[in-house]
Structure 1
Amino acid sequence: MFRSLLTPTDRPTLGRTGARRCAWLAALLASGLAVLAGAQQTDKVRDAKQAEAELKAVKAEIERIRRQVSRDQIERDRLTRDLREAEVAVAKAREGLERVRQERETHTRRRAELGREKRELEKQLADERSALAGELRAAYLMGREEPLKLLLNQKDPARAGRMLTYYGYFGRARAERIGRIEESVTRLAELDRELEQEERRLAALEEERKAEVERLEQAAKQRSAVLAKLKEESRSREQSLKRLQAQQSGLEKLLTELRRAMERFPVDAKDAFARLRGKLAWPVTGKIVARFGETRAGGLKWNGVLIATERGTPVRAIYHGRVVYADWLPGLGLLTIIDHGDGYLSLYGHNERLYKAAGERVTAGDVIAAAGDSGGRSRPELYFEIRRAGRPVDPRPWFSSPQPRG
């Protein structure tokens, strides 16, 4: 059929769906052309029914894609909810991690403060111990002398007695102070150990929170990736749906125009086109870059040849006949179709200009178009087909040379 008329860039990326859609499009176009090629009214009716059946299949495919798009929307909504829940969970986990970090920082500052207090107390303790040691030495020295001698040596014996009493008081008070400082140092050491244990617990908790955040972030990324992929697939389906709808509209218009052209310009089927096999001249100069029957993207086959040429190169009719179609068609761009009679048609696609209108008669060698890249081609090329009773045939054996060289 006419599947090869659609270029790979024109086909939606739907795998088998795209291939089936191309097949339906091709079948529709072939059916429309077969209506022109048929000479009897019964053939026209049969081909029209076939075209209508194929058009119905295209409409069914459109409806199928619509249902899939609707299912995609439901799935997108579900994934969006899942993604929202995942991202909210990530946010909460990050908040928990931040709280743990702040608590660790608080404990770190508290330990630093306790360290400073401990050092100050240890300094005080050292000073008190040093002073007490001096007092103990003095008391020791005083204790070695007889108390009576000590008292007699003083001008004021009462004062000497008071001094001995004061030494005793001071020694006991300093000893008590040293004891209190030692208790404070011990208490600070215990508190520091408790804070150290709490800090280790918080450090472990922070690692757990970090691992939880990473796990939740990874889950959110995966959900986001799935959602993005589904959105891309949905966009592709929606674009394919638009293409199918445009092609459906174009094909319906094409079938209508072909039927009208058939009624206005009956085909002259007296000439035996079949006798020209091996004698025709190529429609354009250039190089064949895709051959009839070769496999193309999507597993489809080329139903004609694709000839690389220069932009604006004259495209010539291969034989006399009547132009039955001259307009733009999805996938083929600016297209001219010539009916040569006896059920034979020739097609010339991807032109940049068309010089002949539907209904005009042409002779072999007439310039009917200028080669171009319409229909989505990336470079100037001519797509060419020969059809017999709506079926594509290999065009190369029909020409006098194997390549369309200038």
Structure 2
Amino acid sequence: RRAELADKRRAEEAALETDRDLLARPGRAAHLIGPQEPLKLLLNQKDPAQTGRMLEYYRYFGRSRAAQIEEIKRHLGELTSLDAALAEEEGRLVELEERQKSQLAKLTAARERRGRALVTLEADSKNRAKELERLRDQQGGLEKLVRELRRALERVEKFPTDSKDAFAKLRGKLSWPVAGKLSASFGQVRAGGVKWDGVLVAGAQGSPVRAVYHGRVVYADWLSGLGLLTIIDHGDGYLSLYGHNERLYKEVGERVTAGDTIATVGDSGGRSSPALYFEIRKGGRPVDPRLWFRSNAP
């Protein structure tokens, strides 16, 4: 539309120049004749016919000049309208250009955000894959350790219990091994779909970790993913596990009673904050430890 308006304006300018040229020609003739010539013709009675023709010529000249002036006015009006239309079109084009620039900037920003999000997702995906691998390795290492301990326990003297299924009868009666806040529960899904086989209790660094029941320490060492770990055999196939400790106070073979301090809370094994990981196992299989405590939370 802008090009069309510009073409019309050029055409109007050309027409205006033509009209101005036509108007200038009779004007130059009138200048040569002089403004008093019609009056002289009327006063000169030499040739009435010639005088009439000359007066008619002047009348025609006047009418033609007036028409040309009107045409020039019309062209000037057209030019004014076209200038206004061109200015309006120019403003519209500027606004459109600004809008397009804004949209382009938004699209560019959105594309950059999407790129950053993809990079983040890829990094998160890799991190989740690594975390899943770590958790599976940790879980596999613990399962292997428990199997080895069970085989070893089968070859040694059984830990004496007060009565058959003594530990099982304590269901709902035990005290929590540490004071703190429950931050992960048995069966809760971890990263990568791996579930918790025990509970995680956030506690103060160095606070005491106590045995939940009497038994014999069958493991007291470092285990990948769980850090410093203590495992107690309570007889009848029951084991309790205490991980992420800062220090271990009991050695393998030592006997403990309920409430004995066996370790202190720490962040070993890759923890970002101090906590105790606690499990109860029966026949090597993890069970929900919360079912053994008097209260739902430590």
TM-score (norm 1): 0.44
Does the aligned pair in 1 maintain the 2:228–2:247 contact within 8 Å?
A: yes
1:361 is the counterpart of 2:246: no
| More moved, 342-351 vs 275-284 | 275-284
Change (3 A) 1:143 1:392: same
CA apart distance, 1:311: 2.6
Matched, 1:139 2:37: yes
Structure 2 CA distance for aligned equivalents of residues 350 and 280 of structure 1: 21
Shift of residue 357, structure 1, vs aligned partner: 7.7
> What secondary structure is seen at the aligned counterpart in 2 of 1:310?
coil
User: Does structure 2 conserve the Cα–Cα contact (< 8 Å) formed by 1:347 and 1:386?
Assistant: yes
**Cα offset for 1:140?**
1.0
Deviation of the 1:388 alpha carbon: 0.8
Aligned partners of 1:287 and 1:403 also within 8 Å: no
Query: Per the alignment, in what secondary structure is the counterpart of residue 204 of structure 2?
Result: coil
Are positions 1:316 and 2:210 aligned together?
Answer: yes
Match of 2:128 among 235, 240, 245: 240
Query: Which residue identity lines up with residue 241 of structure 1 in the other structure?
Result: A
- 1:285 alignment partner, SS class: coil
> For each residue in 1:108-138, what CA deviation from the matched residue of structure 2 results, as whole angstroms up to 9, or x when unmatched?
9x959x869959x869958985994895742
How many Å separate the matches in 1 of 2:121 and 2:254? 47
Question: Which shifted more, 138-147 or 302-311?
Answer: 302-311
Which residue does the alignment assign to 2:166? Answer: 275
Deviation at 1:246, TM superposition (A): 3.3
Q: Is the 8 A contact 1:288 1:308 kept in 2?
A: yes
- Give me the identity figure in percent: 34
Q: Distance in 2 between matches of 1:393 and 1:189?
A: 96
Q: CA deviation at 1:346?
A: 0.6
1:346 alignment counterpart: 240
Partners of 2:229 and 2:136 in 1: CA distance: 17
> For structure 1, which runs of at least 5 residues remain unmatched after alignment?
1-99, 150-174
**Larger % of strand: which?**
2
User: For 2:73 and 2:99, how far apart are their aligned partners in 1?
Assistant: 39
**Counterpart for residue 91 of structure 1:** none
Q: In 2, distance between residues paired with 1:347 and 1:244?
A: 22
Q: Compared with structure 1, are the counterparts of its residues 256 and 284 closer, same or farther at alpha carbon in structure 2 (3 Å cutoff)?
A: closer
Instruction: Tell me the distance in 2 between the aligned counterparts of 1:193 and 1:135.
Output: 38
* Bigger Rg, which one: 2
Partner of 2:277: 383
Looking at structure 1, the residues matched to 152 and 283 of structure 2 have their Cα atoms a distance apart, in angstroms, of 20
**TM-score (structure 2 length as normaliser):** 0.56
Structure 1 residues 367 and 198, CA gap change in structure 2 (3 angstroms): same
Structure 2: 5+ residue runs without aligned partners? 48-62
For 1:324, the aligned partner's letter is: Y
Matches within 5 A, 1:182-261: 231-250=119-138, 254=142
Q: Which has the higher helix share?
A: 1
Q: What is residue 295 of structure 2 aligned with on the other side?
A: 402
Task: Pick closer, same or farther for the CA change 1:139–1:216 going to 2, 3 Å.
Answer: same
Q: How far 1:389 sits from its partner (Å)? A: 0.8
Contact 2:9 2:82 in 1 (8 A): no
Aligned-residue offset at 1:178: 11
